[in-house]
Amino acid sequence: MRVLGIDPGSNITGYGIVEQQGNRLFHIDNGCIVTSTKSPLHLRLKEIYSGLQEIIQRYEPEAVSIENIFFSVNAGSALKLGQARGAAILSAVNADKEVFEYTPMQVKSAVVGYGKASKDQVQKMTKVLLNLPEVAQADAADALAVAICHINSAKILNAVRGKK
């Protein structure tokens, strides 16, 4: 199973492609879509959408997993994050990919074993789990972690749906 994980953001959207073969996880690619804070939000959302469409076409994931919104003190930041998530979800849905959402606590629990783990701990565990030569950039590591979370959850989801 090949999964695209997405850590959405209006300035930086991280992505990570992880493939499961048997009981092993393989790193395929990761990176960030970086938008200019000087650009209007609607153009940044277009850039996120287009960038993810390109990644989906290139890597053809079977599923897309995305980090769910956390609650923010700043309402403006939360709205922009929600719009970035919407652009990311739409890019997956328009490519006929099923989208799965996970909270930051679910992702951290699946990767580190502790729901309140730090970003540094997530980066180090994705490096270990995927045998990366170096620690991935924080947003890309979070996206890889979201993909790993989905792979770990897929067996349970399939059992609930009656699939094998």
60 is catalytic: no
pLDDT digits (tens, 9 = 90+) for 48-68: 999 999 999 999 999 999 998
Single out the catalytic residue among 7, 19, 47, 62: 7
- Does 67 participate in catalysis according to the annotation? yes
- Annotated catalytic residue, options 19, 29, 134, 139: 139
| 3-class secondary structure per residue, the chain | CEEEEEECCCCEEEEEEEEEECCEEEEEEEEEEECCCCCCHHHHHHHHHHHHHHHHHHHCCCEEEEECCCCCCCHHHHHHHHHHHHHHHHHHHHCCCEEEEECHHHHHHHHCCCCCCCHHHHHHHHHHHHCCCCCCCHHHHHHHHHHHHHHHHHHHHHHHHCCC
Which of 37-46, 62-71, 155-164 is the least confident region? 155-164
- pLDDT over 70 at 72, yes or no: no
Q: pTM, whole model, 2 decimals? A: 0.92
pLDDT at 139 over 90: yes
Query: Which of the following is catalytic: 47, 67, 98, 101?
Result: 67
Level-2 CATH architecture, domain 2-161: 2-Layer Sandwich (3.30)
Higher pLDDT, 160 or 5: 5
pLDDT digits (tens, 9 = 90+) for 75-92: 888 888 999 999 999 999
Q: Is 101 a catalytic residue?
A: no
